[in-house]
Structure 1
Amino acid sequence: MKIVYIITRSDVLGGASVHLLDLAKGMIDQGHQVHILVGGEGTFTEELKKNNINFSSLKYLKREISLTHDLLGFWEIKKHLKQLKPDIVHCHSSKAGLLGRLAAKSLNLPVVFTAHGWAFTEGISPTKQKIYAKIEKFLINFSDHIITVSEYDRKHGFKHNVGTPELVQTIHNGVPDIKTSASEKSSSIVRLIMVARFEDPKDQYFLIQALSKLPAHLTWQIDFLGDGPNLQKCQELANHENLDSKIIFHGQSFKVKEFLNLADIFVLISNYEGFPLTILEAMSASLPIIASDVGGVNESVSSENGYLIPKGSVDILVQTLTELIVNTNLRQQLGSNSRYLYETQFSFNTMLQKTFNVYTQVLEKRSLK
C-alpha cells in the first residue's frame, strides 16, 4: 500500500510528530510505501532523514492562520498528491487535517484524519471552540474516517456534533517498548521526571510550586526534558525557591528512553490534554504515574498504576509526591502495574494493526461504491 501522511509542523518533536514518526516506521517495516508531507524543515525532518523516510518539505503549510498561505498550501498539497498518487492519505494535526482533507477529496483520494486532541478542546475560549467545531463539522464531509486517540476526544467531538459513531473511532496511542533495568536505579535518591515542552497545555510551573512545598528532609531530584517559551519562567522559579540542586533542566533531549530507565516516578502536570504519549512511554518503563486528571489521561492512569491529580489541587499533588517518594514498595507495585497495562492495552503493535485495519476498511468501502 502507498501511504501519504501529512502533518503541519516540523520545528518541534511533540506528541503528534512522535506518533507519526513511529507509525511511518511501523508501516515501512510491514512493507508499505510511505511519503510524508510536512510544513517547513526542522527537528522532525531531521528525524525523518535519520530514519531514511521519504518526505517533502512544504513552503506554505503553516500553523498560523493566513488566507494567502492557506490557499497556497492547499494547492501545494494537491500538487504533491497528484504526483505521488497514494492509495490513501492520512492527515495529522489541525491545519494539515483541514488542507490535506480538502486537497485529497479534490482528487477523489481516500483520506483519514487523526485528531490528536480537537482544536475545540478544553482550555480554548468558548468563541474559538464554536468556530473550530463548525470547521470540523464541515470537514466531516471530506473524511472517509476519523481516528481519535482517546474516548474522551471521541465523546467531546460528539458533544459538538462532530462526526458519528460509524465515522469516528478511538485508537489509543501505542508506543515502542522501553525496557527498564533495575540495576540502573539509584537507591540513595528518588528521581522524578517530566517530559514535555514548556508551553500550553503543560504546567511545569505548577509542579515546581508543589515541589517547593515538599518536606525538607526528603531526598529527591527531578529531570525536566523539553524546551519552549515557558522554560525561563520555570528556571527563575526554581532559582527563587532555592531548588537549583534538585531541579535539572535538560532542554530538548533525544535520550528520553535513557532518562526514563533511570527514573523512579513519572509526572505530567497539564491544564488540558488529549491522550499523552509520554505517559505510555513511562508505563512501558515500569514507572508509577502522577498526572493531572484532564482530557483522556484517566484512560491510561488510575489507582492501579498511579495517581490522578485534580486540576489546580496543589495540596493533593504535594501529598501524592511525598507518599511516592517515601514509599519504595508502593512505587514498585504501581510501576509493575503500569508495565502490565502497557503490554496488554497500549503496545505499539496493537495501535499499528488497528490503524492499518482502518486503511483496509476505507479502501474496501470505496471499492464497493
Structure 2
Amino acid sequence: MIESLQSQLNDANTPPQQAAKKVAHPRKIAFVCNPKMGGSGIIATELAMALAERGHHVWLLAEKHPYSWRQVSDTLYFLKLEVNDYPVFESAPHTLALAGALANLIEQENIEIVHAHYAVPYAAAAVMAKQICKQPFQLVTTLHGTDVVKLADDPAMHRVIDTVLNQSQRVICVSDDLAQQTHQRFDLPVYPEVIANFVPPGKMFAGSRQQAREQLQLDQQASYLIHASNFRKIKRIPDIIKSFALVRQQRDCQLILLGEGPEVTPCQDLAVQLGMADDIIWVGQEPNINRWFAAANVNLQLSDYESFGLTLIECMVQGVPTVANNVGGMPEVVAGTGRLVTVGDIEATAQNVLSLLDEQRQSPAEMHQRCIDKANSNYTSEAVCIAHEAVYHGLLVTEAKTA
C-alpha cells in the first residue's frame, strides 16, 4: 500500500526552499486531534498546516494550541475547545463538548470535511456531531495505532470503535501493518487507505552533525544514541537503557533521552542502579527536537508496537539510522537503512548498535546518504498532501453525484 504511493512520492519531492503549490480547488476542512506531544498530534497538526499552505481553509479544534502549531498561513485557523467542569460528572465531558463545538463550526463555516486523528475520542465526537448538525459533512478518520491495537481489546470500546469506523466515509492508516490489523479486527465496507507519515521541510535541522553538536555543546568525537517518546510502558525505555549499558561496556558513548511521561522517574532509578546515570542526557520536552536527532549516531525505538514510528523518519531525514523492534509498521520504515531486532532482545540490540557505529566510522557519508535518500523518496509532505487531497476530492465528488 505504501509502495503504491511511490510514484506520487517521487514526483512530489519538493526541496525545502520551494514554496508549497497552491491547489486549484481549496476545501474547507476541520481537524481534531490530540494537542499534546506525541506522533499522532504532531502529524495531524503538520498535515493541517501543510494543507493550509497549499490554499485549503483549515480549522484545528483543540483544548490548546497543539505541540507543533505554527501560524503558517492566513487560511489556517485555531479554535480553542472550551471544556467546563460540572459537579454532576466525575470528569469533564470532553467528547460531548467537542461534538457540540464541531457542529457549531461546521454550520458556521460550511465545513466540507472533518478529519479526525484517532477513532476515540475524536472521530466519536465527529459521529455525534453528525447527529446534531444541520449540515452534512464527510468524515475522514486516520488511525495511528493505539485505538486498534490497545483500546479495541476492551469489548465495550471495540463496539464504539467499530461503529465510528463504519460511520466514517474513509479510514486512513499510516502503515500496511496497521491497515491489515484494522481490516482483521473490524468489519469495514472499504479496506483502509494507507498514507505514510512525513517530516515537514521546516522541521528539519539544516546543518551538519558537527553544527548540531556545536549548538548543543556536545563532544564532536563522541558517539551518541538517542530516543524520543512520551515515556509510556509501551515504549520499553528500560530495554533502551539496558541495551545502552551493554554498548557502554564496549564503546565510550552517551544516551540522549527526549520527552516526558509516566516512565521517566522509574527509568531514572534504573539508570542509577546500572551505574549509567552520568552517561545519560535527560533533555525532557524539547521543541527543536530535530537538532538533537541530527547530532546523534543511532536512534533506538524498542516499543512493544508502533504502527509507524514518527521518530524513525525524523532521524532518517537527518541521516541517522535506527535499531528498532521487528513489530508493527517499523520494519516497513526501517528497511534498507537500519536494523531490526526481536522484542526484548537487549543483547542483539547492543550488537546491532555497535555494528552501525562501526559502519559509520568506516563509511559515514554512505550511511548518512542512504538514510536521507529513503526519507526523500518516501516521506515528503508534498506527496502526503496530494494523497489526502485525492481522498477528500473522491469523497466530495461522490457526494455531489449522489446528492
- Using the size of structure 1 for normalisation, the TM-score is 0.88
Q: 2:186 aligns with which of 158, 161, 167?
A: 161
Deviation at 1:95, TM superposition (A): 0.5
- Hey, what does 1:181 align to over in structure 2? 208
Residues 218-260 of structure 1, C-alpha deviation per residue, up to 9 Å, x if partnerless? 1111211101111111111112222223210000001112111
Distance 1:198 1:248 in 2: 15
Matches within 5 A, 1:96-245: 96-104=122-130, 106-107=132-133, 108-121=136-149, 124=150, 127-128=153-154, 130-164=155-189, 166-177=190-201, 178=204, 179=206, 181-184=208-211, 187-214=220-247, 216-245=249-278
- Hey, what does 2:112 align to over in structure 1? 87
Which letter does structure 2 place at the counterpart of 1:309? Answer: V
Query: SS in structure 2 opposite 1:174?
Result: coil
- Hey, what does 2:77 align to over in structure 1? 54
Deviation at 1:101, TM superposition (A): 3.0
Matches within 5 A, 1:40-51: 40-41=63-64, 44=66, 47-48=69-70
Change (3 A) 1:80 1:161: same
Deviation at 1:72, TM superposition (A): 4.3
1:305 lines up with 2:337 in the alignment:
yes
Deviation at 1:71, TM superposition (A): 3.6
Partners of 2:319 and 2:368 within 8 A in 1: yes
Change (3 A) 1:27 1:133: same
Distance 1:340 1:50 in 2: 27
Change (3 A) 1:46 1:190: closer
Change (3 A) 1:5 1:65: farther
Partners of 2:232 and 2:262 within 8 A in 1: yes
Where in structure 2 are there 5+ consecutive unaligned residues?
A: 1-26, 214-218
Which letter does structure 1 place at the counterpart of 2:48? Answer: A
Deviation at 1:126, TM superposition (A): 7.7
Change (3 A) 1:350 1:82: same
Deviation at 1:336, TM superposition (A): 2.4
Q: Percent identity, aligned pairs only?
A: 21
Where in structure 1 are there 5+ consecutive unaligned residues?
A: none
Deviation at 1:320, TM superposition (A): 1.3
Which letter does structure 1 place at the counterpart of 2:186? Answer: N
Deviation at 1:191, TM superposition (A): 1.3
Residues 312-355 of structure 1, C-alpha deviation per residue, up to 9 Å, x if partnerless? 11121121122223332366544322211111111121111111
Distance 1:51 1:17 in 2: 19
1:336 lines up with 2:359 in the alignment:
no
Aligned residues: 359
Change (3 A) 1:176 1:68: closer
Residues 55-74 of structure 1, C-alpha deviation per residue, up to 9 Å, x if partnerless? 22223499x99795544442
Q: CA RMSD in A?
A: 2.7
- Hey, what does 2:55 align to over in structure 1? 31
Change (3 A) 1:45 1:258: closer
Partners of 1:175 and 1:346 within 8 A in 2: yes
- Hey, what does 2:11 align to over in structure 1? none
Distance 1:317 1:167 in 2: 35
Residues 25-44 of structure 1, C-alpha deviation per residue, up to 9 Å, x if partnerless? 11111111111111x236x2
Deviation at 1:295, TM superposition (A): 1.2
Distance 1:241 1:13 in 2: 29
Partners of 1:174 and 1:346 within 8 A in 2: yes
Query: SS in structure 2 opposite 1:311?
Result: coil
Partners of 1:220 and 1:325 within 8 A in 2: no
Distance 1:161 1:243 in 2: 45
Deviation at 1:111, TM superposition (A): 1.4
Partners of 1:293 and 1:309 within 8 A in 2: yes
Query: SS in structure 2 opposite 1:201?
Result: helix
Residues 276-324 of structure 1, C-alpha deviation per residue, up to 9 Å, x if partnerless? 111111111111111122211111112x211112111112112112222
Change (3 A) 1:342 1:315: same
Distance 1:134 1:332 in 2: 51
Partners of 2:244 and 2:255 within 8 A in 1: no
Partners of 1:274 and 1:295 within 8 A in 2: yes
